Amino acid sequence: MKAKRILALLMVTLMCVGVFGGASAWAEEAPVSVDFEDGNMGFVSVYDGMANSDACALEVVDYNGSKALQITNGSGKVPYVAFDVASLLGDKAGDVASIDMTMGIVNPDGEFYACSGNVMLWMDGGLSSEKHGWSVYLETKNPKNAPTALNPDKGEVFSAEQPLMIVTLEVDNGATAGAANAVLYIDDIAFKDADGNVIEADTSAAFTAPEGFGGSKDMSNLQYLGADAVELEGMAGKAADAWTQDGVEMTEEFLAALVPGSVIEIEYSSDTGDMWIVMPDATVGWSRVEQQTAATNLSKNICQITYEQIAAVCGDDVSTWGARLQCEASGAWEVYGVKVGQPTGLKNLAGKVEIPEMAGKAAGAWTQDGVELTEEQLALLVPGSVIEISYASETGDMWIVMPDAAAGWSRVGNPNDGQSHAFDGSVAQVTYEQIAEVCGDDPTTWGTRIQCESSGAWEVYGVSICSGAFENVKGNVEIPEMAGKAADAWAQDGVELTADQLALLVPGSVITIQYASDTGDMWIVMPDASAGWSRVGNEAPLCDGSMAQVTYEQIAAVCGDDPATWGTRLQCEASGAWEVFSVNIGTAA
């Protein structure tokens, strides 16, 4: 007790010095690498490459008495905010041993709800599996320091190949409780070396996206348009309330591209997730096209409407469609771009297995180069499989050559010889069936070498053999109760489907799952099927590590033709620990 009083008197003395003497040197602020006081944030970017990525907004604002980076959730998903440490710190980036950051949260309703997330590095073209948790868990400690100690033994070293630090906000108790998402603030980032010295940063640095960071636009359920697609000028930035239209007159260039087979693609946001077009001046009268039925990606931010769908409403003669094209949605909406072009035929592929020896192969025009496939790689060539080539070529084309086929030296997919396959100048896809057409049905007669070739000088960046192509699905209906389900390896979790949801399971329907799993796979379980507890899709799962699909026909093959006997519960499962972000049921487009 005596000691407590002495301690209190000491505190009083210290306070008196503080109040009357103005001696504040002991409270001097510690140096940091980035304090945002200059307003710069060009070294930060949102990563949208995960199935649960949120399109969050970034801004430098006043917070807690100084400037800070504000991260505002856009759609209720997980913000992934990337800091380009390599550009900030230059050749000192590799010295970083620990990071201190001030993290704070503000909830729009004025209450406090704890939040937590992770700090990780960009490694091997994606997010590191090593994660360092941060949390703001008490109102009395908001904001607070979030320390991260890097583990170089696990490869956590910043470099040109591993330039990014990524901060996520993954657990938002407010949102879980039904309140609005928390706004996250990051301030006073101190990158420290092994001796604890703060490393100076150049905050004028611009974010440089590493390979694999960009180009992650969610193209699920959509067709890939050619690079020559024509933008409709004036549409970007158009916005309106629910059931209200806005648009522009179509340009001559746009109209010239609006021909049979073409597709109009709209990048947008809407409160309800839908989007369609209106042709207000059509001769047949004011017309909505694909109202709430347009092909839409799972992120519900890109939709596509075909020439033929417009013709079905407005007639075959484009000259009668009127001059204006407008957008509309059932919720407040904004459009970021509208273009029209011809689909390339490229598909979203699943089960990619790299052929690493092909990366870097290059040759002149009409010259081949390639590799001898291993037995394991050859075994991947099964009906439905697709060879995907990432490339550049002077003439834009790319195909494969099977030099040792029993049918003779064979080009497959050479467009200059009337052979068709999908390519867009940077990606080419050749199907098993296209090879079989040239080399015969028996893959054991195709030879073991595979080569690339183009009509111009070419270079290949990567070649993969993929197990199959995802279905493009329309009319997706989300099973909201599945979002957030998670379990360990070989453990199941799911929901009881309602009668309305069960009614969606009709021939041709497709269940699409957005997920993450330690092993990359994902399938469904029908635990109450009359045929017995049943796994569906685990033998050859159609998945790519973030999306999986199971068709009605796959379920029927396991559980029988009558969906009334499948039971009412639907569960997910994977061979590694897993989490599901969304489950949708729709029909193949």
Partner 1 sequence: MKRISKIFAAVLVVAVMLSCLGVGALAADEPRTITIGTWWDIFYDSTHTALEDDPSYTGSVSDQMRFDVVKAVEEKFNVKFQYVNLTYTGITESINTSILAGTPECDIYLCDLTMGIPAAVNGLALDLKTVLPEDADILSDQTVLNYLDLGDGKVCLMKQVLGQNVVEATSPLAFNKQMLEDNNLEDPRDLYARGEWTWDKFVEYCQTLTQDTDGDGVTDQYGFTGYKEDVLSNLLMSNGATIAAGTEEGLSSAATGEALQFYYDLYNTYNVCEPYVEQDNGDVMRFTYRNGNIGFWPSAAWIASTNADYDWDGSVGSTLEFDTVFVQWPVGPSGDQETNKAKLTAGAFWFIPNGVEDPELVYNVFEALSNWYNDDVSIRDDVETMWWWYATTASDPDLQQENYDVMFDLGSREQFDVYQSLEAQVDGWDLEQLIFGTMTAAQYQETYRQQFQAAIDSYFG
Residue whose CB is less far from partner 1, 2 or 375: 2
As measured in angstroms, the least distance from the Cβ of 457 to partner 1 is 48
Residue whose CB is less far from partner 1, 9 or 227: 9
206 and 43 Cβ atoms separated by less than 8 Å:
yes
480 and 574 Cβ atoms separated by less than 8 Å:
no
As measured in angstroms, the least distance from the Cβ of 571 to partner 1 is 12
As measured in angstroms, the least distance from the Cβ of 115 to partner 1 is 7
388 and 426 Cβ atoms separated by less than 8 Å:
no
Residue whose CB is less far from partner 1, 16 or 194: 16
Residue whose CB is less far from partner 1, 22 or 418: 22
3-state secondary structure of 564: helix
Residue whose CB is less far from partner 1, 173 or 330: 173
Burial class (CB in 10 A: 0-12, 13-18, 19+), 497: buried
As measured in angstroms, the least distance from the Cβ of 519 to partner 1 is 12
Angstrom CA distances, 504 to 230, 398, 566, stand at 36, 41, 13
Q: What's the number of CA atoms in the CB half-sphere (13 Å) around residue 37?
A: 6
- From the list 96, 116, 211, 224, the residue with the least C-alpha distance to 161 is 211
99 and 186 Cβ atoms separated by less than 8 Å:
no
* Torsions phi, psi for 430 (to 5 deg): -120, 125
212 Cβ contact partners less than 8 Å away, ≥ 6 residues apart: 49, 125, 126
Q: What's the rounded Cα separation, in Å, for the pair 41 and 489? A: 40
Q: What's the rounded Cα separation, in Å, for the pair 525 and 544? A: 19
Residue whose CB is less far from partner 1, 16 or 406: 16
Residue whose CB is less far from partner 1, 132 or 339: 132
Residue whose CB is less far from partner 1, 317 or 562: 562
As measured in angstroms, the least distance from the Cβ of 58 to partner 1 is 23
Is omega for the bond preceding 343 within 30 degrees of 0, making it cis? no
Cα angle, residue 274 at apex, residues 268 and 280 outer, rounded to 5°? 80
As measured in angstroms, the least distance from the Cβ of 93 to partner 1 is 26
Residue whose CB is less far from partner 1, 331 or 527: 527
493 and 572 Cβ atoms separated by less than 8 Å:
yes
Q: Which two tokens stand for residue 427?
A: 């990606």
Q: Point out which residues bind partner 1 (CB under 8 A).
A: 5, 8-9, 11-12, 15-16, 18-19, 113-117, 133-138, 171, 173, 176-177, 490, 527-528, 530, 532-533
Residue whose CB is less far from partner 1, 91 or 499: 499
Residue whose CB is less far from partner 1, 12 or 259: 12
Residue whose CB is less far from partner 1, 168 or 297: 168
- From the list 154, 155, 157, 196, the residue with the least C-alpha distance to 33 is 196
Q: Which two tokens stand for residue 204?
A: 């004028």
Residue whose CB is less far from partner 1, 95 or 518: 518
- From the list 495, 486, 584, the residue with the least C-alpha distance to 170 is 486
Q: Which long-range contacts (CB under 8 A, 24 or more apart) does 25-32 make?
A: 30/190, 30/198, 31/190, 31/198, 32/100, 32/188, 32/189, 32/190, 32/198
Residue whose CB is less far from partner 1, 236 or 491: 491
CA torsion sign for 70, 74, 75, 77 is negative
- Strand runs labelled E in 66-182: 66-72, 80-84, 98-106, 115-123, 126-127, 132-136, 144-149, 164-168, 171-172
As measured in angstroms, the least distance from the Cβ of 11 to partner 1 is 6
Q: Which two tokens stand for residue 23?
A: 């001696």
- From the list 56, 148, 132, 140, the residue with the least C-alpha distance to 104 is 140
